[in-house]
């Protein structure tokens, strides 16, 4: 069967591929420790599940508004306004099937063929692919580990062209765990003031997971630019709700209406029961977030310590999300030619699954998630050290 050319231009998600391979090995009886998937190992908090159960008992199962229930959109607007100092209403928010779906709808709504989106790298595997799926062109800007992956103002300015429609920033970052400082955000703002036709998309899905640093909102440090800041967020990471698939986007109303038109002809509304759970998350107590944050921080410290104890491994300490992004390039030689082969070696010899850095446009690196138990972190790092020691 002939498959559409557009599919051939898109790379499969490397993180999902690694996760699937680890799950297949586990199903066959192999003892594999998975550091690949970006998913909290905690159960969804009880009050959120209770909200979903209560909704079922009231009667849930009909279509909602395409853009999501009015209650959830209002709660999302309030959540975003509190974080960013913005003034969004329910009408400027659309709820989608996860933050990835929000980004897909966003790019489909705002990009014409050849339009450019500037993306700092290393970056999440799906960013360039989502831009290309919409007919756009990703323009990648290098950031450096020795500068804690700071987005350089001059490099950003050089990346802009007459075709630039948007800049996409992700802080805290997947995969590096880097958190942009106020200085970096002010530098982005200075560039934006020179280009009133360019928007900024901020993917803030990890903003509640910051350790020892201050999370900074671009809209808050440069409020005069807030109307050009498009906010993408969701409940997946902070509330341990990855499988519920609820994300949301806030921005100019004409853009949100265009996204709603697209969504109305594709998925229609996100699942009604998942929306009820997300409403309970956004309006309920925050104790579970505090507890998960504290545990992630403990795990982060242990993973950083264990990785730095391995001779040849370089690591910039992550201050956000739940990933470490070590440089394994010292182990690439004639026997192991690249980070993909190295990940396969570690999986075969150490029975540990991690994601090669080339999937994030950072060859020689690898991403390890510490959204798993302390026991797995300690045992997994011991296995990685042993496997690397054989090279």
Q: Rounded CA gap, 160 and 142, in Å? A: 14
**Quick one: 246 and 312 in the same domain?**
no
**Quick one: 187 and 213 in the same domain?**
yes
What CATH number has the domain bearing residue 110? 3.40.640.10
Q: What angle do CA 61, 64, 65 make, to 5 degrees?
A: 170
Dihedral sign for Cα 144, 146, 151, 155, please: negative
Q: Supply 335's token pair.
A: 């026997």
30 falls in which pLDDT band (50, 70, 90)?
Answer: confident
20 falls in which pLDDT band (50, 70, 90)?
Answer: confident
Q: Rounded CA gap, 110 and 258, in Å? A: 8
Residue 67, SS3 per DSSP: coil
Evaluate whether 369 touches 389 at the Cβ level (below 8 Å).
Answer: no
Q: Rounded CA gap, 238 and 228, in Å? A: 26
Q: Rounded CA gap, 246 and 252, in Å? A: 20
Domain of 137 in residue numbering reads as 46-283
**Quick one: 197 and 323 in the same domain?**
no
Which residues lie closer than 8 Å to 2 by C-beta, 6 or more apart?
none
**Quick one: 293 and 234 in the same domain?**
no
**Quick one: 206 and 60 in the same domain?**
yes
Residue 358 sits at φ, ψ, to 5 deg, of -60, -25
DSSP 90-143: GGGEEEESSHHHHHHHHHHHH--TT-EEEEEES--THHHHHHHHTT-EEEEEE-
Query: Of the residues 283, 317, 340, which one is the last residue of a structural domain?
Result: 283
Query: Of the residues 245, 267, 283, which one is the last residue of a structural domain?
Result: 283
**Quick one: 163 and 107 in the same domain?**
yes
**Quick one: 353 and 248 in the same domain?**
no
Q: What angle do CA 220, 225, 231 make, to 5 degrees?
A: 65
pLDDT digits (tens, 9 = 90+) for 103-160: 999 999 999 999 999 999 999 999 999 999 999 999 999 999 999 999 999 999 999 9
Q: Work out how many domains the chain is built from and give that number.
A: 2
Note the pLDDT of residue 244.
Answer: 98
Q: Supply 1's token pair.
A: 């069967």
Percentage of residues in the chain having pLDDT higher than 90: 91
pLDDT digits (tens, 9 = 90+) for 238-256: 999 999 999 999 999 999 9
**Quick one: 177 and 75 in the same domain?**
yes
- Give me the sheet containing 247-250, strands edge to edge: 93-96, 247-250, 229-234, 199-203, 164-170, 116-121, 137-142
Strand ranges inside 235-371, DSSP E? 247-250, 323-324, 352-353, 355-356, 366-369
Query: Of the residues 263, 283, 303, which one is the last residue of a structural domain?
Result: 283
**Quick one: 77 and 183 in the same domain?**
yes
Chain centroid offset of residue 217 CA: 16
Higher pLDDT, 181 or 37: 181
**Quick one: 205 and 346 in the same domain?**
no
Q: At residue 197, does pLDDT exceed 80?
A: yes
**Quick one: 196 and 322 in the same domain?**
no
Dihedral sign for Cα 39, 43, 45, 47, please: positive
Q: At residue 172, does pLDDT exceed 80?
A: yes
What CATH number has the domain bearing residue 364? 3.90.1150.10
pLDDT digits (tens, 9 = 90+) for 47-79: 999 999 999 999 998 999 999 999 999 999 999
Residue 71 sits at φ, ψ, to 5 deg, of -60, -45
Note the pLDDT of residue 234.
Answer: 98
**Quick one: 199 and 231 in the same domain?**
yes
pTM: 0.95
């Amino acid at each position: 069967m002939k498959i559409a050319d557009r599919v051939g231009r898109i790379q499969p998600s490397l993180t999902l591929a690694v996760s699937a391979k680890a799950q297949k090995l586990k199903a066959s009886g192999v003892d594999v420790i998975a550091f690949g998937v970006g998913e909290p190992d905690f159960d969804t908090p009880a009050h959120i599940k209770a909200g979903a159960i209560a909704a079922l008992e009231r009667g849930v199962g009909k279509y909602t508004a395409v853009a999501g229930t009015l209650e959830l959109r209002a709660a999302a607007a309030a959540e975003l306004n509190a974080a960013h100092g913005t003034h969004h209403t329910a009408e400027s928010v659309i709820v989608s099937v996860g933050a990835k779906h929000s980004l897909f709808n966003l790019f489909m709504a705002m990009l014409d063929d050849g339009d450019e989106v500037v993306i700092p790298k290393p970056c999440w595997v799906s960013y360039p692919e989502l831009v290309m799926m919409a007919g756009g062109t990703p323009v990648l800007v290098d950031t450096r580990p020795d500068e804690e992956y700071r987005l350089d103002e001059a490099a950003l300015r050089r990346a802009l062209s007459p075709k630039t429609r948007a800049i996409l920033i992700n802080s805290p970052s997947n995969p590096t765990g880097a958190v942009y400082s106020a200085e970096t955000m002010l530098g982005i703002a200075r560039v934006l003031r020179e280009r009133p036709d360019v928007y900024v998309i901020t993917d803030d899905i990890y903003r509640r997971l910051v350790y020892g640093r201050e999370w900074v909102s671009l809209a808050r440090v440069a409020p005069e630019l807030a109307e050009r800041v498009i906010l993408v967020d969701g409940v997946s990471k902070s509330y341990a709700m990855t499988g519920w698939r609820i994300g949301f986007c806030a921005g100019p109303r004409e853009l949100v209406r265009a996204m709603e038109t697209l969504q109305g002809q594709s998925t229609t509304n996100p699942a009604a029961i998942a929306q009820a759970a997300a409403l309970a998350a956004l309006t309920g107590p925050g104790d579970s977030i505090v507890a998960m944050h504290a545990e992630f921080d403990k795990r982060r410290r242990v993973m950083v310590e264990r990785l730095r104890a391995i001779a040849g491994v370089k690591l910039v300490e992550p201050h956000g999300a739940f990933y470490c992004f070590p440089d394994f390039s010292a182990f690439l030689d004639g026997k192991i030619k690249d980070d993909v082969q190295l990940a396969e070696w570690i999986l075969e010899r150490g029975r540990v699954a991690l994601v090669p850095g080339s999937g994030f446009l950072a060859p020689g690196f690898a991403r390890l998630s510490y959204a798993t138990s302390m026991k797995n972190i300690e045992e997994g790092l011991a296995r990685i050290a042993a496997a690397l020691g054989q090279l």
